[in-house]
Structure 1
Amino acid sequence: MKILHTSDWHIGRAFHGHSTLDALTDVLGALVAQVQEHDVDVVVVAGDVFDSATPAASAYTLLTDTLVALHGTGAQVIVTSGNHDSAARLGFQARLLREGIHVVTDPRTVGEPITIDDAHGPVRFFGIPYLEPAIVRQHAVFQEAAEGEEARPLRTQAQTLARAMRLVRAGLAEHPGRSVVIAHCFAAGVDATAGLEREIRQGGIDMVPVSVFDGVDYVALGHIHGRQVLTERVRYAGAPLHYSFGEQYKPRGSWLIDLAADGAVAAEWLPLPVPRPLVTLTGSFDEILSPDNVAAHADDWVCAVYTDDLPQTEPMRRLREKYPFCALVQHEPVLVAVDAERSYAQRLRAAATDEERIDAFLGHVRNGVAATADEQELIRSVLDDRVRAEALV
């Protein structure tokens, strides 16, 4: 059986204030073409279909069009909800969807497989929607502890996923066959994008050990936006678009999984097109605006990090004259304060003259950059004018 593993579409997400809907439409169209080209049997979407719990109408339209197109290739589709999705909104029309499109949002159905047959027999797909411990622990199916363990309220992702996988194994015992689990979580060993994969904290309390997923032929994970292989059978596909400059070096695509008759897994990475590349340009403001840089990156999304000692005037406006898609500008001067270990108050107390006090102030507000020779001359001139004016009073 051929399975395409994708995740984290984040339909409706903005990129630094710019809509990504058109770009995502093109990329998902390419994904549909890959499903057709590789004769995929099942497409699994491991959560975060939408970027918001209250997506706009246009987001629903793109999802519907994509699901219909995937179904039109002859593949079956299984979608689970992630932490960004509203499970209720994503699943509200699940019963109305055409045969072959499955949307899993109800945590109480975790142990109930979706069975899809191929020439070698049944494959059991277990969709695990994002499980918030405080919410799912009210359900009776999540209140039963393993034999020999004390029944305790679920408090962490690790505990909750462990309980869910016990339900999966019970379902698999009742319905034997090859098995695929679809889940949305932080698994131990992943490399997250700082500040992006939000709401599921990366730390001991919410980290799920990879061993939780033992005993399953393939685990299709979502939530991390970069492609990652935790084991040959446990993988993240990442997001189909770049949603931050922290992701710019991470490839975009999906995993094509060939599940053999004995449950063996062969994986192939299928890259997706990048509608507009992301680039970070670092250097002086003049270097960033150099003809070579402009020629190479005028059509890219640009993050400009300029290292001049002093802030530039209207840097974004000036950058967008050359880079229409400049999305972010940062000032990171390379000079370090000479007396960084001394506080501003200490330097001010040590100043003996007004000129030294002004120089201490400038160094404080400009990250240690002292007055230039021209500025010192101007300061002396102003101070001299003040002395002459006071002498005439």
Structure 2
Amino acid sequence: MIDTLAKAAQSNDAKVVLVAGDVFDSPEPGDRVYRQALTRMKAAERVKWVLLPGNHDPARSDGLWSRLKNDAPENLLTALEPTPFEVLDGLWVLPAPLLYKRTIDDPTTWFDSGETPERAFRIGLAHGPVVEFSSTQTANNLIAVDRAKTAKLSYLALGDWHGRRQIDAYTHYCGTPEPDDFGREVTGMALLVDVSQKEAPDVVEIPTGRYFWRSETWDLRSGADLLRELNGFAPEVDRRNLVARLKLSGLVSLSDRAEVRNVLENEFAHEIRWLDLQAGDLFVRPTDDDMADIDLNGVLREVAERLSSMAAADGMVGRRAASALERLYIEQQKLQRRGVSE
């Protein structure tokens, strides 16, 4: 992702990349992740990186950020103090670094009194929720919704919210540059911001995400239903970059359920990046043909009929019986195919 952001910045003639917290997922990312991040940022020498500690990687004393400050290449700035600094000629950053994962104070309060040259562009950089969409007024790291106005900011870059969101013309959440979960709002982008205008900043969304997360619930009555759903599932997405969650429901025959799982687990799952298959609500109603495929008249037929009866029950007993019946069917099919091949 660092390479992608650097490429986006360079292709749009952006001199600075601001990262509004959570540069790493934890305050101890490990040497491999740490070194790779530094190496990639250093390689993008035409870009100046400004990194802010967030709630996932707060600036603990003698920790990650002390090390990062000492190891930082010339094109990397660590925003570790609540003090304005000039990042480009006339462009000043007012950072609100988090020293702890949680704080009850607004980390941007000092922006109002932060002094910069008279005609400087004042860029706020912070990490936390704003009053407008926080579920409680006592949320951690809560930021005043009108901070850009009270601090006379040219722009306020915020992190913490994983989806893209505009609070006002001067205040924006970019969201994560790579989608990271199902059900997110618009995400997977960087924001190209031009503050040189006298009016509000010009903000353009630049796509940066590689993976597409899709979650759907399919109600199936046959194997044909599955094929229809698969054919219409995210056709615009390269399947190699698709992360899918499929929740299956419905009532199908044993043979259809076995086919559904075979297609999804042994074919579709290998075509995409990752599959979360939830088939607990796809119930089985065995047909006479299903039972005959297990055993026409023998002991296994009796077992299958008993499991079928138990599978109709509610709760864990029914689910376990249905699972056992499906397994019995599949194993019998394997034995039959093996016998034919021999």
| TM-score normalised according to structure 1 size | 0.60
Q: Deviations over 1:157-189 (max 9, x none)?
A: xxx11xx43423333268773211111101133
Match of 2:123 among 180, 199, 207: 180
Q: Deviations over 1:175-226 (max 9, x none)?
A: 7732111111011334xxxxxxxxxx84332143312443222110011111
In the alignment, is residue 329 of structure 1 matched against residue 329 of structure 2?
Answer: no
Q: Deviations over 1:133-178 (max 9, x none)?
A: 87xxxxxxxxxxxxxxxxxxxx62xxx11xx434233332687732
Tell me what 2:250 maps to.
308
Match of 1:238 among 160, 170, 175: 175
In the alignment, is residue 79 of structure 1 matched against residue 51 of structure 2?
Answer: yes
Tell me what 2:136 maps to.
203
Match of 2:219 among 284, 294, 297: 284
Tell me what 2:159 maps to.
222
Is the Cα–Cα contact under 8 Å of residues 43 and 78 in structure 1 kept in the other structure?
yes
One-letter amino acid matched to 2:48:
Q
Q: Distance in 2 between matches of 1:32 and 1:168?
A: 28
1:328 positional shift: 1.1
Tell me what 1:31 maps to.
5
Is the Cα–Cα contact under 8 Å of residues 32 and 69 in structure 1 kept in the other structure?
no
One-letter amino acid matched to 2:37:
L
Q: Distance in 1 between matches of 2:98 and 2:74?
A: 24
Question: Residues 36 and 294 of structure 1: is their aligned pair in 2 closer, same or farther, counting only changes over 3 Å?
Answer: closer
Q: Distance in 2 between matches of 1:50 and 1:133?
A: 13
| TM-score normalised according to structure 2 size | 0.68
**Counterpart of 2:115 in 1: which secondary structure?**
helix
Match of 2:39 among 65, 76, 80: 65
One-letter amino acid matched to 1:204:
Q
Match of 1:365 among 290, 315, 329: 315
Q: Distance in 2 between matches of 1:76 and 1:51?
A: 22
Tell me what 1:347 maps to.
none
Question: Residues 209 and 332 of structure 1: is their aligned pair in 2 closer, same or farther, counting only changes over 3 Å?
Answer: farther
Structure 1: stretches of 5+ with no match in the other structure? 1-23, 135-154, 191-200, 336-358, 370-374, 376-393
Percentage of pairs with the same residue: 19
Is the Cα–Cα contact under 8 Å of residues 93 and 123 in structure 2 kept in the other structure?
yes
Question: Residues 315 and 99 of structure 1: is their aligned pair in 2 closer, same or farther, counting only changes over 3 Å?
Answer: same
Q: Distance in 2 between matches of 1:317 and 1:53?
A: 42
**Counterpart of 1:83 in 2: which secondary structure?**
coil
Tell me what 1:267 maps to.
203
What does residue range 15-164 of structure 1 map to in structure 2 within 5 Å? 24=1, 28-70=2-44, 72-73=45-46, 75-87=47-59, 88-105=63-80, 109-110=81-82, 112-118=83-89, 122-132=90-100, 156=104, 160-161=105-106, 164=107
1:261 positional shift: 6.2
Is the Cα–Cα contact under 8 Å of residues 157 and 173 in structure 2 kept in the other structure?
yes
Q: Deviations over 1:311-336 (max 9, x none)?
A: 9679877522122244312247499x
Q: Distance in 2 between matches of 1:241 and 1:85?
A: 18
Q: Deviations over 1:65-107 (max 9, x none)?
A: 232133x12x3221001111152213423144233421123xx
**Counterpart of 2:108 in 1: which secondary structure?**
helix
> Greater CA deviation, 202-211 or 295-304?
295-304
Q: Distance in 2 between matches of 1:277 and 1:213?
A: 33
Is the Cα–Cα contact under 8 Å of residues 27 and 56 in structure 2 kept in the other structure?
yes
**Counterpart of 1:29 in 2: which secondary structure?**
helix
Q: Distance in 2 between matches of 1:321 and 1:166?
A: 55
Q: Distance in 2 between matches of 1:189 and 1:289?
A: 44
**Counterpart of 1:40 in 2: which secondary structure?**
coil
Q: Distance in 2 between matches of 1:240 and 1:39?
A: 19
Is the Cα–Cα contact under 8 Å of residues 217 and 263 in structure 1 kept in the other structure?
no
Is the Cα–Cα contact under 8 Å of residues 215 and 245 in structure 2 kept in the other structure?
yes
Is the Cα–Cα contact under 8 Å of residues 178 and 263 in structure 1 kept in the other structure?
no
**Counterpart of 1:278 in 2: which secondary structure?**
strand
**RMSD (CA atoms):** 3.8
Q: Distance in 2 between matches of 1:241 and 1:130?
A: 23
Tell me what 2:328 maps to.
none
Is the Cα–Cα contact under 8 Å of residues 308 and 332 in structure 1 kept in the other structure?
no
Question: Residues 275 and 360 of structure 1: is their aligned pair in 2 closer, same or farther, counting only changes over 3 Å?
Answer: same
Is the Cα–Cα contact under 8 Å of residues 316 and 329 in structure 1 kept in the other structure?
no
Question: Residues 331 and 213 of structure 1: is their aligned pair in 2 closer, same or farther, counting only changes over 3 Å?
Answer: farther
Is the Cα–Cα contact under 8 Å of residues 193 and 202 in structure 2 kept in the other structure?
yes
1:280 positional shift: 2.3
One-letter amino acid matched to 2:204:
E
